[in-house]
Amino acid sequence: MSNEVRIWVNGSLVGEDQPALAALDHGITVGDGAFETCKIVDGEVFAADRHLARMDRTLAGLGLPSVDRERLQQGIDAVLAAGEQITFGRLRYTITGGPGPLGSDRGDQGQTYIVTATEVTPFADTTAVATVPWTRNSRAATAGLKTTSYADNVIALAHAKSQGGSEAIFANDRDELCEGTGSNIFVVVDGVLRTPPLESACLAGITRELAIEYAREVGIDVVEETMPFTVLESAEEAFLTSSTRDVQPIHAIDGRSLAAPGPITTRMREAFAKASASDLNP
Q: Which domains occur in the chain, in start order?
A: 6-119 (3.30.470.10), 127-278 (3.20.10.10)
State the pairing for strand pair 44-45/12-14. Answer: unpaired
Do 126 and 251 touch, CB atoms closer than 8 A? Answer: yes
Strands (E), the chain: 5-9, 12-14, 33-41, 44-45, 88-96, 112-119, 127-136, 167-172, 177-180, 184-189, 192-195, 222-224, 237-242, 246-253, 256-257
3-state SS assignment for residue 106: coil
Report the chain (282 residues): mean pLDDT per 10 consecutive residues. 88 94 95 98 98 98 97 98 97 97 92 98 97 97 96 98 98 98 98 98 98 98 98 98 98 97 98 98 98
**What's the predicted TM-score (pTM) here?**
0.96
CA atoms of 247 and 274, how far apart (whole Å): 12
pLDDT score recorded for residue 3: 78
pLDDT score recorded for residue 141: 96
CA atoms of 224 and 222, how far apart (whole Å): 7
pLDDT score recorded for residue 248: 98
- Cα 165 from chain centroid (whole Å): 17
Measured at the CA of 187, the angle between CA 53 and CA 204, to 5 degrees, comes to 15
CA atoms of 129 and 145, how far apart (whole Å): 23
Distances (CA, A) of 124 to 15, 116, 220, 240: 30, 23, 24, 12
